[in-house]
Amino acid sequence: MNQLKPRPGRVRVAVRPQGDWKYLSFWVLALGPGEVEGGESGGLELALVPLSGRVRVEAGGQVFELSRRDVFSGPPSVLYLPPGSAYRIEALSQAELALGGAPAEGRYPLRLFRPEEMRVEMRGGANALRQVSHILGPHLPAERLVLYEVYTPSGFWSGWPPHRHDGRMGSLYIEETYYYKIQPAHGFAIHRNYSPEDGLDELLLAQDGDLILVPRGYHPVAAPPGSNVYYLNYMAGEATGEARAAPPVDDPAWAWMRQDWAGKPLELPIGMSQKSEG
């Protein structure tokens, strides 16, 4: 199963490389005021993203204070840690934060990426319009990691046309996690993973705090009316450096929609005679 539900305790969700999942580690911490979490990056480059609350992070002889009301209130600062970095996280309030990593050689130093360095773009059109924030995009220095925050409004789609980056059809092999936040919290999204070549086809109900893995294939997302959907993407795979900007490959059955985002919708009403007035 490629879906993890949030659990009680400090570590809400977590995934590590195992089996065919080779590169990407990801976990979410929930800390109460005064609680401390420490660790060491080992052979990984790590990126820390605040999701809500205030934390103090000590790493590399420096101290950083990161804060965010919630994911819908604005962009974060992202703390990048190279391999071999010890870190200490102290919650200054109730806080939630994401950490993820990938194997690296230590080419880049510890750095805090601020919102003004991040690219924000509007992708798609019609009811496939969404905002993609490149919070650690390929334009920023990292070895394997790429991070995005995606906002899909009520009634809209994202990840459209469906695309893949699993080593098939000339794409690079890149693993990806989706960490969902929904507004309101009782809302939901629909996430599909499908790979026609090997029979993978799963339709997943994504609720607030769920983590969904994309092991291969295409992976579109729908936000039903009344649910505004955020997801945090951590990505890592065989691409390094500038190659992280390599585009995915669209599903040929849907690639035409880049020229017609409305998708030739039906005109309503159908089969109803219109009364003439007067």
Say what the pLDDT of residue 90 is: 98
Structure-token pair, residue 36: 């401390």
Buried b (16+ CB within 10 A) or exposed e, 87-100: bebbbeeebbbbbb
Q: What distances in angstroms separate CA 236 from CA 24, 86, 123, 198, 232, one per listed residue?
A: 6, 21, 22, 22, 13
Say what the pLDDT of residue 272 is: 83
Give the number of other Cβ atoms within 10 Å of residue 248's Cβ: 18
How far apart CA 23 and CA 17 sit, in angstroms, is 6
Question: pTM value?
Answer: 0.96
3-state secondary structure of 214: strand
Say what the pLDDT of residue 274 is: 59
List all residues 6 or more positions away from 254 whose beta carbon is below 8 Å from its beta carbon: 160, 161, 162
Q: Which residues pair with 68 in a beta bridge?
A: 53
Segment 205-221, tens digit of pLDDT: 999 999 999 999 999 99
Say what the pLDDT of residue 3 is: 97
List all residues 6 or more positions away from 78 whose beta carbon is below 8 Å from its beta carbon: 47, 48, 49, 112, 113, 135, 136, 147
> Residue 160's closest CA among 130, 202, 189, 133?
130
Say what the pLDDT of residue 4 is: 97
3-state secondary structure of 113: strand
3-state secondary structure of 278: coil
Please state the φ and ψ torsions of residue 256, each to the nearest 5 degrees: -60, -20
Say what the pLDDT of residue 275 is: 57
Residue ranges in the chain whose pLDDT is less than 50: none
How far apart CA 210 and CA 4 sit, in angstroms, is 6
Segment 22-35, tens digit of pLDDT: 999 999 999 999 99
